[in-house]
């Protein structure tokens, strides 16, 4: 397995002083070193193609490939001689290749520029990382689905404006998050289509005067398409902006879920008990069980949003084609990947280990004010217009509140004072009856939830094949 990233400060990197500040300011090797695997793979494909079209000899290509594999091993073993003076990952590898194989190393850069080289590296990087993000999303979705399967019959209040609204199934509630993350998976998969385009062969901006076989390079590197315009290819970072946008929407969903985990595990709600592995204590208050992991997941959305704004700001005023500004596209990209994957993994672990306090949910769903909408719907079923029915139930609710009663405490005679459409033997609703009445596609009735669970399982299975 390739190393995901290297230390931002390399072991043999000199300590920054005033004397070398200018050089360090323009160098990117401290962060683009993590692209080494993709840079080497791109160079190997390029060398093989150059030999295929007889621009270099097969002997030189074999030597280049062998040297590049030696460099890969040196980097993985943390013995590679990084040099800040060489600025970036490309020049560090090229210099080391020359040290290892000599003069043939100089032939590798034939027909390419660092401009199309870095564009290729970044696309290869995201082609690797997006499937890993979707894998983490599927694990989170599986955790949500498992909760749903175990809690089809668990009822609790649904909320609007953070106030109790109507009875729902807990399964229905967590399947809502499943749908959010399912859209995220689809967005990432769609982003991958526009990332999966090979820019190598575009040169600095105008193409190259060599008879390169770009299709062969695309085949070796497993790109599904080749860029159509060399100017666009070297300056395009839309795929990074799109990735950051996908990640920002996903982070929004993460933050919403985290916020609810924090609220529901509080004493005020008491719906969840988070596992000890996902809470921390207080330095002064012995009783505290702080939901720090969920809080950090909520907070980390902010840095992902910032990375989206950063890349959009970098791109918004750039003339064609390549500008050095584009060096600033990488740290935010790496940070988003390094943030979102572990956050998804942490949330999946938190969900699979938490305890659901069904008794507290049941106690709160027994609040009969949650059944006010059912009263209005009942009157509609008796021929009353919904607006009229709504007005009647508002008056009933106000009466109950002023009399310190629940809707269940009101007898049928009192109900009939507000509307003769209530029968003399009117018995009202229960949370179970309320939930079961919403038996349409997308509703919270148990038959619909069971169908939804089956559909979610099917979708997860299809995603796993991608």
pTM, to two decimals? 0.91
Please identify, among 313, 332, 363, the residue that sits at the C-terminal boundary of a domain. 363
Distance CA 443, CA 445 (A): 6
* pLDDT confidence band for 6 (50 / 70 / 90): very low
Is residue 161 annotated as part of the catalytic site, yes or no? yes
Q: Residues 373, 357: one domain?
A: no
Contacts 24+ apart (CB under 8 A), 314-322: 314/237, 315/237, 315/241, 318/235, 320/205, 320/231, 320/232, 320/235, 321/115, 321/204, 321/205, 321/231, 321/234, 321/235, 322/115, 322/204, 322/205, 322/234, 322/235
Contact in structure between 72 and 40 (CB atoms under 8 Å): yes
Question: What range defines the domain where residue 408 resides?
Answer: 367-464
Distance CA 373, CA 392 (A): 11
Q: Residues 282, 186: one domain?
A: yes
DSSP string, 143-209: HHHHHHHHTTT-EEEEEETTEEEEEEEHHHHHHHHHHHHHHHHHHHHHHHHHH-EE-TT-TTTT--S
- Structure confidence at residue 18 (pLDDT): 55
The most confident of 127-141, 279-293, 394-408, by mean pLDDT: 127-141
Mean pLDDT of 2-28: 59
- For residue 289, is it within any domain? yes
Sign of CA dihedral 215, 220, 223, 228: negative
Q: Residues 97, 136: one domain?
A: no
- Structure confidence at residue 403 (pLDDT): 87
Distance CA 339, CA 337 (A): 5
- The CA-CA-CA angle for residues 173, 179, 180, to 5°, reads 100
Q: Residues 283, 202: one domain?
A: yes
Q: Residues 207, 342: one domain?
A: yes
Q: Give me the catalytic one of 146, 224, 282, 391.
A: 282
Distance CA 436, CA 188 (A): 36
What digits encode the pLDDT tens for the residues 342-397? 999 999 999 999 999 999 999 999 887 888 888 899 999 999 999 999 999 999 88
Distance CA 267, CA 273 (A): 10
* pLDDT confidence band for 289 (50 / 70 / 90): confident
- For residue 1, is it within any domain? no
Whether the per-residue pLDDT at 260 is higher than 70: the answer is yes
Q: Residues 313, 448: one domain?
A: no
Contact in structure between 42 and 117 (CB atoms under 8 Å): yes
CATH number of the domain bearing residue 405? 1.10.40.30
Mean pLDDT of 56-77: 98
Is residue 412 annotated as part of the catalytic site, yes or no? no
- Structure confidence at residue 19 (pLDDT): 55
Question: How many Cβ atoms from other residues are within 10 Å of residue 333's Cβ?
Answer: 23
Tokens of 391: 């007005």
Task: State how many domains the chain has.
Answer: 3
- For residue 183, is it within any domain? yes
CATH number of the domain bearing residue 180? 1.20.200.10
Q: Residues 153, 273: one domain?
A: yes
Q: Residues 138, 158: one domain?
A: yes
Sign of CA dihedral 125, 127, 131, 137: positive
Please identify, among 107, 136, 161, the residue that sits at the C-terminal boundary of a domain. 107
- Structure confidence at residue 2 (pLDDT): 41
Q: Residues 77, 60: one domain?
A: yes
Q: Give me the catalytic one of 161, 267, 283, 402.
A: 161
DSSP string, 101-118: H-GGGGGTTTT--HHHHH
Q: Residues 188, 150: one domain?
A: yes
Q: Residues 321, 172: one domain?
A: yes
Question: What torsion do the CA atoms of 357, 361, 364, 366 make, to the nearest 10 degrees?
Answer: -130
Buried b (16+ CB within 10 A) or exposed e, 102-113: eebbebbeebbb
Q: Residues 168, 271: one domain?
A: yes
What digits encode the pLDDT tens for the residues 72-124? 999 999 999 999 999 999 999 999 999 999 999 999 999 999 999 999 999 99
Please identify, among 90, 107, 124, the residue that sits at the C-terminal boundary of a domain. 107
* pLDDT confidence band for 7 (50 / 70 / 90): very low
* pLDDT confidence band for 16 (50 / 70 / 90): low
- For residue 13, is it within any domain? no
CATH number of the domain bearing residue 33? 1.10.275.10
- Structure confidence at residue 178 (pLDDT): 98
């Amino acid at each position: 397995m390739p190393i995901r990233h290297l230390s931002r400060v390399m072991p043999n990197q000199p300590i920054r002083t005033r004397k070398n500040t200018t050089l360090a300011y323009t160098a990117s090797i401290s962060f683009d070193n993590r692209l080494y695997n993709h840079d080497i793979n791109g160079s190997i494909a390029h060398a093989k193609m150059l030999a295929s079209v007889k621009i270099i000899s097969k002997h030189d290509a074999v030597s280049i490939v062998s040297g590049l594999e030696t460099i890969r091993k040196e980097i993985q073993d943390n013995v590679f001689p990084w040099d800040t003076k060489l600025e970036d990952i490309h020049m560090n590898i090229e210099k080391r290749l020359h040290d290892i194989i000599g003069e043939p190393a100089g032939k590798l850069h034939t027909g390419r520029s660092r401009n199309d080289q870095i564009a290729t590296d970044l696309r290869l990087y995201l082609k690797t990382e997006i499937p890993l993000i979707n894998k983490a999303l599927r694990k989170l979705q599986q955790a949500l689905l498992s909760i749903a399967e175990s809690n089809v019959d668990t009822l609790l209040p649904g909320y609007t404006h953070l106030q109790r609204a109507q009875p729902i199934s807990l399964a229905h509630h967590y399947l809502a998050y499943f749908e959010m993350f399912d859209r995220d998976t689809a967005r990432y998969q769609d982003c991958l289509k526009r990332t999966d385009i090979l820019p190598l062969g575009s040169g600095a901006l105008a193409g190259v005067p060599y008879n390169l076989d770009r299709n062969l390079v695309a085949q070796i590197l497993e790109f599904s398409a080749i860029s159509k315009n060399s100017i666009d290819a070297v300056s395009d970072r839309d795929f990074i902006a799109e990735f950051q946008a996908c990640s920002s929407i996903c982070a929004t969903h993460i933050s919403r879920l985290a916020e609810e985990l924090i609220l529901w595990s509080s004493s005020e709600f008491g719906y969840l008990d988070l596992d000890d592995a996902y809470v921390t204590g207080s330095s002064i208050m012995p009783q505290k069980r702080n939901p720090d992991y969920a809080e950090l997941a909520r907070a980390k959305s902010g840095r992902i949003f910032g990375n989206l704004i950063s890349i959009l700001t970098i791109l918004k005023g750039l003339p064609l084609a390549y500008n050095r500004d584009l060096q600033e596209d990488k740290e935010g990209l790496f940070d988003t990947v390094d943030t979102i994957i572990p956050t998804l993994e942490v949330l999946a672990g938190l969900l699979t280990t938490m305890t659901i306090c069904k008794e507290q949910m049941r106690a709160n769903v027994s609040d009969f004010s949650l059944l006010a909408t059912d009263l209005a719907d009942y009157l509609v079923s008796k021929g009353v217009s919904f607006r009229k029915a709504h007005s009647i139930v508002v008056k009933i609710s106000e009466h109950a509140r002023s009399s310190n009663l629940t809707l269940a405490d009101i007898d049928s005679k009192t109900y009939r004072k507000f509307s003769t459409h209530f029968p003399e033997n009117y018995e009202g609703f229960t949370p179970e009856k309320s939930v079961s009445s919403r038996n349409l596609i997308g509703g919270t009735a148990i038959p619909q939830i069971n169908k939804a669970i089956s559909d979610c399982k099917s979708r997860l299975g299809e995603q796993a094949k991608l």
